[in-house]
């Protein structure tokens, strides 16, 4: 019984460490990576029914990030609060990379997961 409790405590401790929030420096690097991913994508972004180039989308999201200042502390918050929908209309931002459109929040989340996985395993 005692060994089981120790094992559970170790698993909980490891889970807490592995799921710990990113540091401020990590968050800034992740957000800059996402902004660059948008600009380098060559995709079309739809904001409030109007299509925009990848560069225009990057500029718009960077402006929102600058204005948000310290209120956005993580890349996840950046995606959720700034890069997923219009703050004026609440309509989701869409991205189209050749084929069907998808919501920008999902697209950015995929890129963030890949970025974090690469950071965990630099040999990948």
Q: Establish if 53 belongs to a structural domain.
A: yes
Residue 24, pLDDT score? 63
Q: What is the pTM of this model?
A: 0.78
Reply yes or no on whether the pLDDT at 35 is more than 60.
yes
Q: Establish if 11 belongs to a structural domain.
A: no
Helix axes 24-40, 54-68, angle to 10 degrees: 160
How many domains does the chain divide into? 1
Reply yes or no on whether the pLDDT at 27 is more than 50.
yes
Q: Is the dihedral of CA 38, 30, 61, 108 positive or negative?
A: positive
For the chain, strand residue ranges (E) read 44-47, 50-52, 94-96, 101-103
Q: Establish if 2 belongs to a structural domain.
A: no
Q: Establish if 81 belongs to a structural domain.
A: yes
Q: Establish if 39 belongs to a structural domain.
A: yes
Report the distance separating Cα 26 and Cα 43, nearest Å.
Answer: 26
Which domain range does residue 53 map to? 23-120
Reply yes or no on whether the pLDDT at 29 is more than 90.
yes
Q: Establish if 67 belongs to a structural domain.
A: yes
Q: What is the pLDDT of residues 44-79, one digit of tens each?
A: 999 999 999 999 999 999 999 999 999 999 999 999
Using only C-alpha atoms, the chain has a radius of gyration, in whole angstroms, of 18
């Amino acid at each position: 019984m005692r060994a089981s409790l120790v094992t559970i405590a170790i698993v909980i401790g490891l889970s807490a460490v592995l799921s710990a929030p990113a540091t401020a420096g990590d968050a800034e690097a992740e957000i800059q990576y996402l902004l660059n991913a948008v600009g380098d994508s060559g995709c079309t972004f739809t904001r409030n029914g109007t299509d925009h180039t990848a560069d225009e989308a990057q500029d718009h999201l960077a402006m929102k990030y600058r204005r948000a200042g310290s209120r956005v502390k993580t890349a996840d918050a950046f995606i959720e609060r700034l890069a997923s929908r219009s703050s004026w209309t609440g309509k989701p931002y869409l991205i189209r990379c050749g084929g069907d459109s998808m919501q920008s929040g999902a697209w950015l989340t995929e890129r963030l997961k890949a970025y974090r996985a690469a950071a965990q395993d630099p040999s990948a």
